[in-house]
Every structure is written in C-alpha cells, then in structure tokens.
Amino acid sequence: MLELVSAYGLILAVIWTPMPAQRILYWLAVVAVVGITVLRREKLQSLGLAPTETRRSLWIVAATLALAVLAVVAAKELGTLHGLPGVGRLSTRTRVIGYLIWSFVQEFLVQVFVLTRLVRLLPRRSLAIAAAALLFAIAHIPNPILICLTLVWALIACPFFLRYRNLYALGLAHGILGLCVAVTVPDAMHHHMRVGLGYLRYQPRHRAIQRSSAPHRVSTHAWVMDEAAILLSERHARP
C-alpha cells in the first residue's frame, strides 16, 4: 500500500505543480517507480514484458485500429479532423513515436504498478479493476474528455492485462486511440490533451503566440508529443 500511495501521490504532485518545482518532482517520481520495480525483482511475465502472449493479444490492436479508422472517417465528415498539435521543432514522426512510448509507460504504471498491487490488496479482482480505472481517470482531472475516455479504456485494459499479461499490445492500442482522439476531437475540447495545471492554463495557439512572454509556464501535458520534447530536446518534466 505504501508503494502505491507514495508513487501515485508523486505523480499527482507532478501534474499539479508548476515549473521549476515540477521538474524535481518528476524525477522523484521516476526514481520511485523504477526503484520500487527493481527492488521487487519481479519476473518479466509479471511485468507484462514477456513475449509469450503477444500473438494472442494482438486482437486488441486490430480492434483499436478499426475503431480509429471509423473515428477518422466520421471526423472528416463532421469537419473536426485536424493535424497533430505542434511541439517545438519536433517532426510529426518524432511526435508519434514519442506518444507511443508514453502510451507504453502509462500502461506500465496503470497495469503493473497500480493494478497488480490492488489485486493483492483487495478481496476481488473486479474491485481492483474498478479502483485502478478510477485512479487512472483521476490522474486526468480536470480534462473532461480524457477523464471519461481513460475510465472506459482502463475498464477494458485492466481485465485484458490480467488475462494476457502483455504490455506490448496494450501500449500500442493505447497509442492508437490517443492519437485518434488527438486528431478527431477539436483541440478546444481537450486542450492539447493536457491535464492538471496544463489544462487550466491552456491557451489556443494564436493566443499563445501573442502572449509568449507571459510569466507562467506549465508543462503538464498528458501526451507524449510533449514528453518527446522533454526527452529529446528541452529535458522538461511532464506527467
């Protein structure tokens, strides 16, 4: 319980803390999660990293691809289809790869770090699944679109993980759905898919350019286009 509370608390602190303190909390959260995982010395199968069930679990990737295609077609008809939000000078390819990596990391946090511990703590798996989904959704407050979508996704992904123990398929499916939401849902509704302070302080692109000298700087994006900017260029912390 202490492992779960401490790591989840640090993640929420990262989401709701402005820079530069956010950067410190970000690395504390990384060290905590990685350190606890290493000290546990769990097998690759328990961590969802063994390739044994990959082929059997790929159906969820096919399902999300089909759903994404339908969503793109519908968005095109409705006039809401648009490109990926820009992140500095990063190319679209880099942003997509970055987001896929971030999707994998999110699934690791939800499934391996949260769900498996809740399964040990709670009397029934159904309660553990519901609790993990709720915690995942809470981490996306106050973004209403992401709160709803992450809750539904986690209620599907958590039972999937308990059955197949495979993060590869889940991470890819998560990435496909996230990118789909990013280009099919109007940006004004999800604010570049940001969470925490980043959502509250979001400014449309044209306003952000006009107010580029504003004193506040918040980097609490849920997406990994921004995470890629951290890892590949700016080294700034994101949740």
Residue recorded with tokens 């449309």: 204
d(CA 48, CA 170) in angstroms, rounded, equals 10
Predicted local distance difference test score (pLDDT) of residue 86: 61
SS3 194: strand
**According to the model, what pLDDT value does residue 224 have?**
39
- Amino acid letter for position 22: Q
d(CA 160, CA 227): 26
pLDDT averaged over consecutive 10-residue blocks of the chain (239 residues)? 89 92 92 90 86 88 97 94 74 88 95 94 96 97 95 97 94 96 90 88 60 41 41 39
Give me the long-range contacts of 26-35 (CB less than 8 A, separation at least 24).
Answer: 26/237, 26/238, 26/239, 27/237, 32/6, 32/7, 33/7, 33/109, 33/113
Please answer whether residues 68 and 194 qualify as being in contact, where contact means their C-beta atoms are separated by less than 8 angstroms: no
Question: Do the beta carbons of residue 15 and residue 213 sit within 8 Å?
Answer: no
Helix or strand run (H / E) with residue 222: none
- State the maximum Cα–Cα separation within the chain, in Å, rounded to a whole number: 54
Distances (CA, A) of 46 to 115, 117, 195, 229: 12, 11, 30, 31
Q: How far is Cα 116 from Cα 46, in angstroms, rounded to an integer?
A: 9
Residue whose C-alpha is closest to residue 95's, from 227, 191, 233, 237: 227
**CA pair distance 45, 116, nearest whole angstrom:** 12
